[in-house]
Structure 1
Amino acid sequence: MSALPSYAFGTARFQASDLLRGIVLLPRNAVLAFLVAYRAVISPLYGEVCRYYPSCSAYAVGAVQQHGAVWGTIQSAWRILRCNPWSKGGVDDVRPHAHFRYELTPQGFVVPPRKD
C-alpha cells in the first residue's frame, strides 16, 4: 500500500463550532471514512499492484478531498478503469481544485476553514 501524497494531509482540527458549517461536508467525509477503512483493511492484502503512483485508493482519497463525494468518485472510477495490465502507468496526481476553500485534518478529513 503506497502512502498518501503529502497534499492529502493538513493540520486543521474539527471543533464543535464547525458543526453547522460542516454539514455540507458530511457526504465527502463519509466517503473518506470508507476509503480510510479500505486502505487500512483491504488494500494491504493486495500489495503493490497499481500501475500508477499514487495508488488508486490514494488517488481516490485525494480526488474526494479536492472535488467532493460525487465528482471525486467519478474521477476515481475513471482512474480504476485506466489501471489495467495494458496501461503504461506512471505518476498521476489529482489535479487540485482551483477554488478549494476547506482545510484538511491530519487524518485527511475535510473541515470548514477557520474564521478567526
Structure 2
Amino acid sequence: MSWATRIILLAIRFYQRVISPTLPPSCRFVPSCSEYAYQAVQKYGALRGSWLGLTRLLRCHPFHPGGYDPVP
C-alpha cells in the first residue's frame, strides 16, 4: 500500500471517528459515503479510489433517491 493511500485512509477514518459523530446523519446511500470512499481507496488505490469517492459525494444530495450502492 502506497503512502498516499495510507494518508487518505487515515484522513477518512479520522473523519468517521471524530467529525462525523458530531453531525446529523444525512447520507442517502448504503454504505455511507465515507465508508464507500474508504473501501474504494482500499480496493483501487489513492487516485482512482479518491475519484470514485468524490463522484459518490457529488451524487449524495436531496434530489437523488440513494439506496444500496456498493463499490464496483
Q: Tell me what 1:103 maps to.
A: none
Q: Identify the residue that residue 3 of structure 1 maps to in structure 2.
A: none
The question of 1:64 aligning with 2:49 is answered no
- Quote the residue 2:23 is aligned against: 46
Q: TM-score, normalised by structure 2?
A: 0.93
Instruction: List 4+ stretches of structure 1 deviating above 2 A.
Output: none
What is the alpha-carbon root mean square deviation over aligned residues? Answer: 1.0
Bigger relative CO (Cα 8 Å, ≥ 6 apart): 1
Among all aligned residue pairs of Structure 1 and Structure 2, give the percentage whose two residues are the same amino acid: 40
Unaligned 5+ residue runs, structure 1? 1-21, 96-116
TM-score, normalised by the number of residues in structure 1: 0.59
Equivalent in 60, 63, 73 of residue 50 of structure 2: 73
**5+ unaligned residues in a row in structure 2: which ranges?**
none
Structure 1 position 92, deviation (Å): 0.6
Which one has the bigger helix percentage? 2
Q: In the aligned structure 1, how far is the partner of 2:10 from the partner of 2:23? A: 20
Report how far residue 47 of structure 1 moved: 3.1
